[in-house]
Amino acid sequence: MLKGIPKILSPELLMVLAEMGHSDRIVISDGNFPAESMGRDAIVIRCDGHGVPEILDAILQLFPLDTYVEHPVNLMEVMPGDDVETPIWDTYKEIIAKYDERGAKAVGNIERFAFYEEAKKAYAIIATGESALYANVMLQKGVVTD
């Protein structure tokens, strides 16, 4: 146990966050995301039993978002024709606003299949048990300045 570290962050996940460098990306995936097949060249960390919002909140307490790109946070776009509501995105934007002054402006969207291609290049993928649809989020790491 360590003081000041969110308890939801496992030693394995803390190590990955510390290893990551500027511009490396990490995906926090929902329960439907093909984490193992997308993460063949990445580190896959299982966080079954947890949802994306609580993992996102814990990570952003330690993880600076990239200030050199317009959207250091990206969500998987809803496919045309899918009648899916995404209220979880509002939750993400509230969490992001706690840790990054850009708030919702730091968040972009990536078309579903393009998101998969980008996920294949991620440093790590965190597989959660999140049941919300289109709840995948990709973070790009920034620089620690203090």
Q: What is the mean pLDDT of the chain?
A: 96
For residues 35-39, give the mean pLDDT.
95
* Global confidence as pTM: 0.96
Instruction: Say yes or no to pLDDT of 146 above 90.
Output: no
For residues 92-118, give the mean pLDDT.
97
The domains of the chain, with CATH numbers, are 11-140 (3.40.1650.10)
**Looking at the annotation, which residues are catalytic?**
22, 66, 116
pLDDT of 39-68, one tens digit each? 999 999 999 999 999 999 999 999 999 999
pLDDT score at 79: 96
Instruction: Say yes or no to pLDDT of 75 above 80.
Output: yes
pLDDT confidence band for 76 (50 / 70 / 90): very high
Number of H helices, E strands in the chain: 5, 6
Closest residue by Cα to residue 46 from 59, 36, 60, 58: 36
For residues 103-123, give the mean pLDDT.
97
State the burial class of residue 24 (Cβ atoms within 10 Å of its Cβ: 0-12, 13-18, 19+).
middle
